[in-house]
Structure 1
Amino acid sequence: MMDASPFRAGHVAVIGRPNVGKSTLVNALVGAKISITSKRPQTTRHRLLGIATFPEGQLMLVDTPGIHREQKRAMNRMMNRAARGALDGVDAAMLVVQAGRWDDEDGLAYDALKAAGVPVVLVVNQVDRMKDKTALFPYLAKVSAGRDFASVHPVSALKQIGLQDLVRATLAHMPQQDALYGEDEITDKSQRFLAGEMVREQLMRQLGDELPYATTVEIENFEVDGELLRIGAVIWVERSGQKGIVIGKGGERLREIGARARQQMEKLFESKVFLETWVRVREGWSDDEAALKSLGYHD
């Protein structure tokens, strides 16, 4: 007997203010870690496509930098343009918010989606962290009032709660068509790009409050040597004083960054990895449009 429901496939922008768990959600739906995560806002700097394939359809999830008000540097302006640009040509959008919270930046993200004219699915993430569970329904009523959401989904991306209903509801907005990617494809980004992101994830996780935002990673070398991947990564900082902080006493911090990044690469690439890292100075790279482009940043 044939399945009555047609296969659906389409693109979904995943939008929200910084640090609400957009990348964790994309990773959970894709079933693999393709977007880096940390507790710091603005960990995601690039637009990335996560491909989530299910028996009933395929979602191409466009993970984006968080939309934020402050546009101090070229980097921040580029990230905002990337987030807004993700709305071009999508079939629907997920607005991801933190359970119990709605502020000006959430409103900014909603307004951008409303202007794009696509169905907006509200994803209320981190419901597992709400201490007072009775506050959830009043909160949902409050944020839904006067706003046009196609559906509302309380979820925990980290604990994978509520994701099946979210997938089902989002697929309903996708066009009826065959899968656009193979079942084993999980992202449009290259292994080279993902390797750089995994080094940067460790910088975000292991350095102090300000320094991660003054660092970026460039993969200088990516070679397949039989069953081994040989990868050379340059960590760029903006001032010479920052170089010693990244390297750490006796090179200890840089070794730790490299070791943890290598473990993540081996897990995702399913291959042994030999990783070398260097730290170099490029003054003012984060506020220089030309430098950003040369380092692989695009809006």
Structure 2
Amino acid sequence: MNTAPHRAGHVAVIGRPNVGKSTLVNALVGAKVSIVSPRPQTTRHRLLGIATFPEGQLLLVDTPGIHREQKRAMNRLMNRAARGALEGVDAALLVVRAGQWDDEDTLAYDALRDAGLPVVLVVNQVDRITDKTKLLPYLAKVSEGREFAGVHPISALKRSGLEALVKTVLTHVPEQPALYGEDEITDKSQRFLAGELVREQLMRQLGEELPYATTVEIERFVEDGNLLRIGAVIWVERDGQKLIVIGKGGERLREIGMKSRLQMERLFGSKVFLETWVRVREGWSDDEAALRAFGYND
């Protein structure tokens, strides 16, 4: 019989862009609450993923990657959101990519150290390192002069090493009952998640720069029996970008809509009727008022 006390608490998931923070959150939650793409800074919002286990509950605060470049209001806001996630949490996961450590990893570690939090180092993508003998010297090097409450090599994508990680993290959160119901997976609304799933397809299907000039606003979200009627506006910054998103004969927009709808149906467990439009708002990503109107906050 398990007599260990039940634990529950908030855990910030921090790291530079594109190290697999959202993939890790989804793997721990056991459902897709955070969008994922190969592009850095896919995550723009602070998001709570609720991971429930027999021994306890981890409220995972997925954050935009901490980065040095602060060219636009969007970048500054994302950095503030990432740093703001450290307030009121019990512990933090510092996610890095196996075999790599650069200035932005140091920046993230320093932010956690300054916040006085227990930091568990999560070395992700160990499956990509073919010569595993290189892992020990790497772990020794990154641990030198830094204090970690635990070091866990994992693969978030393959869900390996997660059990031991959860065990360690639970020791750093308070003894208390679960803060959310067992079937709850996020504090975000279905409306918010619908917008994120459309944005995920934009990140996945468009070229290098364009995804960063796009955002999504859900204008309509209506439950009609077991059908969800959703209207999504894709905002871009220039007319030329609008043409790229729509594609030849509307082909790309149809593809984005179809893939988004399938993801929504999987996540929401109901049929979805999705309509998409593309509109232009010049310079929205460098305009704090526009960012707040589109639901971005720090």
Q: Distance in 2 between matches of 1:136 and 1:174?
A: 29
1:161 aligns with 2:142: no
Normalising by structure 1, report the TM-score.
Answer: 0.99
1:35 Cα deviation (Å)?
0.2
Amino acid at match of 2:216: V
Q: Distance in 2 between matches of 1:34 and 1:256?
A: 22
Amino acid at match of 2:54: P
Question: What's 1:28 paired with?
Answer: 27
Question: What's 1:236 paired with?
Answer: 235
Question: What's 1:62 paired with?
Answer: 61
Amino acid at match of 1:85: G
Q: CA RMSD in A?
A: 0.5
1:138 aligns with 2:153: no
Question: What's 2:79 paired with?
Answer: 80
**Alignment length, in residue pairs?**
298
Amino acid at match of 2:261: R
Q: Distance in 2 between matches of 1:242 and 1:4?
A: 59
SS at match of 1:205: helix
SS at match of 1:261: helix
Q: Distance in 2 between matches of 1:278 and 1:226?
A: 24
Amino acid at match of 1:93: A
Amino acid at match of 1:230: R
CA displacement 1:185-209 (0-9 Å, x = unmatched): 0000000000000000000000000
| 1:258-273 equivalences in 2 (<5 Å) | 258-273=257-272
1:222 Cα deviation (Å)?
0.1
| 1:110-125 equivalences in 2 (<5 Å) | 110-125=109-124
Q: Distance in 1 between matches of 2:109 and 2:118?
A: 11
Q: Distance in 2 between matches of 1:290 and 1:86?
A: 22
Q: Distance in 2 between matches of 1:265 and 1:127?
A: 31
| 1:1-299 equivalences in 2 (<5 Å) | 3-299=2-298
CA displacement 1:226-250 (0-9 Å, x = unmatched): 0000000000000011000000000
SS at match of 1:219: strand
Amino acid at match of 1:206: Q
Task: Provide runs of 4+ in structure 1 moved above 6 Å.
Answer: none
SS at match of 2:272: strand
Q: Distance in 2 between matches of 1:133 and 1:255?
A: 44
CA displacement 1:89-124 (0-9 Å, x = unmatched): 000000000000000000000000000001000000
CA displacement 1:159-189 (0-9 Å, x = unmatched): 0010000000000001000000000000000
Gaps of 5+ in 1: none
CA displacement 1:36-76 (0-9 Å, x = unmatched): 00000000000000000000000000000000000000000
Q: Distance in 2 between matches of 1:7 and 1:289?
A: 42
Amino acid at match of 1:182: G
SS at match of 1:273: strand
1:4 Cα deviation (Å)?
1.4
Amino acid at match of 1:88: E
Normalising by structure 2, report the TM-score.
Answer: 1.00
1:132 Cα deviation (Å)?
1.9
1:133 Cα deviation (Å)?
1.4
Q: Distance in 1 between matches of 2:70 and 2:130?
A: 34
Identity %: 82
Q: Distance in 2 between matches of 1:27 and 1:144?
A: 27
Q: Distance in 2 between matches of 1:117 and 1:227?
A: 48
Amino acid at match of 1:255: R
Amino acid at match of 1:5: A
Q: Distance in 2 between matches of 1:234 and 1:90?
A: 34
Q: Distance in 1 between matches of 2:204 and 2:255?
A: 11
